[in-house]
Amino acid sequence: MARTRPLRLLVVGTSWPPQTFLGRLMRGLAASGIDVSLAFSQEPDQEWFFQSGLRAFRTWSWEGSRILRLVRLAWLSLRAFLRSPRDFWRFLRQSRAEPTLTAKLRTLNRLVPFAGVRYDVLYFPWNSVAIDYLPLFDCGMPVLVSCRGSQVNVAPHHPGRGVRKGLPATFARAARIHCISQAIEREAERFGLDRSKARVIHPGIDPGFFSPSDSRDTSPMLRIITVGSLVWVKGTTYALQSLRLLLDRGIPARLTLVGDGPERQRILYTIEDLGIREHVEIAGRLPPLDVRDRLQQSDVFILPSLSEGFCNAAIEAMGCGVPVVMTDCGGVLEGLTHGVEGFVVPLRDPEAMADAVATLARDPGLRVRMGRAGQARIARDFTLDRHVRDFVTLLEEVRACRVA
């Protein structure tokens, strides 16, 4: 029977190396018997692919010397034409719609490697990328697109940008849309997502990896940690203001910032300006193992985000048995109950965040109870196994959408 044949999945739009959570999902899918190929424009790292049981699908970015680019594009176009004249024609038409010659060539270069390629399911982990590949939606492969956050939460409110033109088109033409939280699903509906196509699958983590350490150091100082890129949407300066308030109240505390990004200067200035240089460590971007180690040695996890799809960083902290203080935005309340695994505080309110952290600072017993509750919540609702299982089901559902 055809159905017993493993599902062939092509994933387009991951960076190299893939984001940690995507890498985990892909390996999980491969382990569940799905034949996963990842499209990459870099020379694939064979070792990595071999270890993870994934295949590489080679594409080319619009780089290199001008001559090399043009020769390569000519060769790729010829190959595409021979493989599937119809696809090639489709891609050519899309490219011609671009305003400038460079944009035309760049678009064609992006699309041609996919001519004549047929998989059971085409998956875009980022909606923003899917918009760039709209012609692939017409090649007869059912498409799954993930909606993770900023594309529907933040970007549409930028007066210069607004809703990206292709966003409603991806909603209309994809077979299914995966939303990482109900909150994201609600936001996406405002831009034309049909609820019957939407499937909410919350992220998951490996509780075997993100778990409390056996050897926890004790510290007279409250060790606070926050994990996230240094971008304005994470509201990191509010965390610094909260720290200042805690110190003012005589609570000895230390904050570790894990992550890097364009707001580094703003963060450095705020640290200087608030006079908390001795109390803050900027750890930079760290590999997952180091993030885990740091979480394990922390007393409280905080994240003063202004907008979130879900609370990915927070569930890792919960897995490590660390109580969480987060702002009330996006799908945060779907992953965390106020007063159980931690506290949910109002947006843009460093005072409220400091209050919540102070409550935890004064009561080590509460920290332990909330940490355990977090672990239990992860084990119940947010394991990687559950996440992968739900994804396999969804992919099968998408495969069944194939137009006969």
Partner 1 sequence: MPGRLALVVPKFPRASETFIVSKFMGLLERGWDVHVVCDGSERSAWDHFPNLRQVPDIRRRVHRTWPHLPHWKAALMAPAALLECLFAAPGASASYLARGGKRFGADVLRRLYLDAALVALNPNLIHFEFGTLGAERMHLSQLLDAPIVVSFRGFDLNYVGLDEPGYYDAVWRDASALHFLGEDLWQRAQRRGCPPAKPHFLIPPAIDTDFFERKEPRAVDRGGSLRILSVGRLEWKKGYEDALVAVQLLGARGIPCEYRIVGDGSFLGAVAFARHQLGLEDVVTFLGETDRSVVREEMLRADVFLHAAVSEGFCNAVLEAQSMGLPVVCTDADGLGENVESGVTGFVVSRRSPAALADALARLASDPDRRRRMGEAGRRRVASRFRLEDQISAFDALYRSVLEKGSKAETHRDAGEVRELGEGGGRQ
Question: Which residues contact partner 1 by CB under 8 A?
Answer: 154-155, 157-161, 232-233, 241, 263, 265-266, 268-270, 272-273, 306-307, 347-348
Considering the complex, state which of residue 46 and residue 265 has its C-beta at the smaller distance from partner 1: 265
Are 184 and 153 in contact by the 8 Å Cβ rule? The answer is: yes
What's the order of all strands across the beta sheet hosting 35-40? 55-58, 35-40, 8-11, 121-124, 143-147, 176-179, 198-200
**Nearest distance from C-beta of residue 266 to partner 1, angstroms:** 5
**Nearest distance from C-beta of residue 282 to partner 1, angstroms:** 8
Considering the complex, state which of residue 235 and residue 371 has its C-beta at the smaller distance from partner 1: 235
**Nearest distance from C-beta of residue 362 to partner 1, angstroms:** 25
| Closest of 273, 315, 317 to residue 295, by C-alpha | 317
For the chain, how many helices (H) and strands (E)? 17, 13
Considering the complex, state which of residue 66 and residue 158 has its C-beta at the smaller distance from partner 1: 158
**Nearest distance from C-beta of residue 149 to partner 1, angstroms:** 12
**Nearest distance from C-beta of residue 154 to partner 1, angstroms:** 6
The whole-angstrom separation of Cα 30 and Cα 7 is 10
Considering the complex, state which of residue 272 and residue 290 has its C-beta at the smaller distance from partner 1: 272
The whole-angstrom separation of Cα 313 and Cα 228 is 7
**Nearest distance from C-beta of residue 91 to partner 1, angstroms:** 32
Q: Could you tell me which residues are beta bridge partners of residue 38?
A: 11, 56
Considering the complex, state which of residue 12 and residue 329 has its C-beta at the smaller distance from partner 1: 329
DSSP H/E element including 302: strand 300-303
Tokens at residue 269, please? 């200035």
Considering the complex, state which of residue 194 and residue 351 has its C-beta at the smaller distance from partner 1: 351
